[in-house]
Amino acid sequence: MSRAQTRTAPTIQLSRILAWVAFALVMLVTLFPVYWVLRTSLSDHKEIYVQTAVIWPVGFTLDNFKRVLGMFTAEQSVAMGGTATGINFWLYLRNSFVVSTFLVAGQTFFSAMAAYAFARLRFPGRDQIFFLYLTAMMIPGVVTLIPNFILIRDLKWLDTFQGIMAPGFLMTPFTVFFLRQFFLGINHELEEAATLDGANIPTIFWRVALPLSIPALSTLAILQFIATWNDYLWPFLVGKKEAVRVLTVALAIFQSQTPQGAPDWGGLMAGTALSLVPTLVIFLVFGRRAVNAIQFTGFR
Amino acid sequence: MTTHRQPRLAARREALYAWAFVAPSLIGFLVFFAVPSVRGLLMSFTDWDLLRPAKFVGVANYVRLFGDADFRHALKVTAYYVLMNIPIQTMLALGLAVMMDKFSKSTVIRGILVLPWLLPNIVVALIWLWLLDPTMGFLNQIIMGLGFQRQPFLGSIDQAMPTIAAINIWRHAGYTAILIYAGLQTIPKELYEAAAIDGANERQMFFGITIPLLRPVLVFVLVTTIIGSFQIFDTIAITTKGGPVDATRVVYWYIYEYAFVRFKMGYATTISVALFAILITITFIQMRYFNANSSDLD
């Protein structure tokens, strides 16, 4: 029995129509800015500033993409309203991929190991350490940001991939917590059977527990991948140099380089569009799982 | 004898393996979470420009902080932002969640709603900077098309902060709606049926059942979004850089300036410790006030 059925027919109709109008409006407001990125990036760089009210790409072209992917010379680029400094989004895409992939791989694996121990094994200090991790979940990033920057600087890891990846590579309190909750929820029986068969703890973890947790691990990895991909301030502080520059940092630098008064919106939106590709792909492939995971993580 | 020793040996082995399993995460925790937290606190009692050795100055930084008009301004601007961001965002999210619960459980709608939250802050800021451009932005074309004056948005002292709040509402409302929607799914439907039989109307059910039972979720959502909101940075770094005329110079931006533009690490950490203290206090008050841990379902 739904609540709606207890009401009279005409009001149901009206409220339903109003609700769908509202949904449609919200969808429009949500999706339009993303469309505008595409529209601008596919438009001619001069027309963008003239035909400001046209919904469709004006003077359809792929030049903006070619430009930010470094397929034109500096002179050509300047002639097209861009900057002379080399902009190579292939490199930034690669850097973002390297950082996000390795960071999330390490983070997920080491967090899973710790989470398994917290969920399944008995050892002195277990509850105390776990409590410390929980406490750390409440400390905002701003507190550790400056000391971590100084640590990376002292290690001479500025402008290196390891410098960008280090703070989250071995764990985050949240990933350990998330996976511990998961391990607590799965059935012991297979693990107990393996113990009776004489398997030791690493074997059980590797052969039994991990294969069972692939859905949870991949969901967490997807969310953390997106979070890492989106991160800005940390990679900006420790990895400005071109060789390790990730996409978000590249976009911010690109924006600050554009000549005053006439930002290179064609190029900027092309770069933006490129930075959205992985998120959109992940989103289309794992949409349902991602939405459910977000719902779940909300209740950490 | 053997029956006694066997389990103890096994227990010791288990503990050894457990420590080996926890060790990598513990190293990561100590090096990048625990020690930096303590170090940050210690640094707040020093004067340090990264070039010369840090000089211990006692509570001088904290004394200075209390008399710092710029810090008070930063706090005021941040609070203004939070007050514009959170209520509207939460109301919108609550409305959307209730609508989804009633009319559509479609994953597609939820997926689209959460999309802005999956985009980088930097990207969201860039997109809106372009859409809101005072002369060429698409929104101003619509505004003028409707016969109104074009708006400066991020370029004006009065509009910059509300605009940044609006941008972040765009990014977070859908995500928040999904969290509240998930909370709505936990409310037993029989309660509504019973209330309907007793003759309760839609409004009475909303305020009598939905809101009270949603309280733990709403408190969670408020606590996390308020904490996040106080740490607004990326959007400002792209759009206004604290301007125009300090109108958007929020606390996090102020910390950033001290640490990475002026290289005053001691005072910068003092401000971040203060921000942390403020966040803890707000969270504590919220938990207390809303009695977050107990659900009315019990």
A104 plus A242 within the same structural domain: yes
Alpha carbon distances (Å) from B13 to A123, A277, B1, B9:
10, 48, 19, 6
Q: What one-character DSSP code corresponds to residue A51?
A: -
Range B63-290 classified under CATH 1.10.3720.10: yes
User: Is the residue at A113 inside a domain?
Assistant: yes
> CA of B236 to nearest chain A CA: how many angstroms apart?
11
- End position of a domain, from candidates A257, A275, A294: A257
CB-based contact B167:B175 (threshold 8 Å): no
User: Is the residue at A253 inside a domain?
Assistant: yes
Q: How confident is the model at residue B2 (pLDDT cuts 50, 70, 90)?
A: very low
> CA of B275 to nearest chain A CA: how many angstroms apart?
8
A19·B103 Cβ contact <8 A: yes
Tokens representing A256?
Answer: 């600050």
**Residue with tokens 């990033």, as numbered in its chain:** A141
Q: pLDDT under 70 in chain A at which residues?
A: 1-12, 74-75, 80-86, 258-261, 296-300
B15·A122 Cβ contact <8 A: yes
Q: How confident is the model at residue B289 (pLDDT cuts 50, 70, 90)?
A: confident
A201·B114 Cβ contact <8 A: no
Q: Which pTM does this prediction carry?
A: 0.90
A133 plus A211 within the same structural domain: yes
B136·A52 Cβ contact <8 A: yes
Residue A181 belongs to domain with CATH number: 1.10.3720.10
A144 plus A232 within the same structural domain: yes
Tell me the ipTM for this assembly: 0.90
A–B: how many Cβ contacts below 8 A?
273
Domain span holding position A56? 3-62
CB-based contact B120:B174 (threshold 8 Å): no
User: Is the residue at A200 inside a domain?
Assistant: yes
> CA of A144 to nearest chain B CA: how many angstroms apart?
5
User: Is the residue at A189 inside a domain?
Assistant: yes
Angle in degrees, CA A11, A17, A21, rounded to 5: 145
A21 plus A146 within the same structural domain: no
Interface of A with B in 124-153 (CB under 8 A): 124, 126, 129, 132-133, 136, 138-151, 153
Tokens representing A110?
Answer: 């080491």
Instruction: Check the CA dihedral B116-B118-B119-B122 and report its sign.
Output: positive
Q: Residue B186 has what pLDDT?
A: 87
Interface of A with B in 62-101 (CB under 8 A): none
Lowest mean pLDDT segment, chosen from A69-83, B58-72, B188-202: A69-83
Residue A165 with chain B: CB contacts under 8 Å: none
CA–CA distance, B289 with B279 (Å, rounded to integer): 15
A29·B170 Cβ contact <8 A: yes
SS3 B47: strand
Q: How confident is the model at residue B180 (pLDDT cuts 50, 70, 90)?
A: very high
CA–CA distance, A235 with A252 (Å, rounded to integer): 11
**Any CB–CB contact under 8 A between A284 and chain B?**
no
Residue B131 with chain A: CB contacts under 8 Å: 33, 36
CA–CA distance, B54 with A62 (Å, rounded to integer): 53
| DSSP track, B118-181 | HS-HHHHHHHHHHHT-TTT-HHHHHHHHTTPPP--GGGSHHHHHHHHHHHHHHHHHHHHHHHHH
User: Is the residue at A291 inside a domain?
Assistant: no
SS3 A46: coil
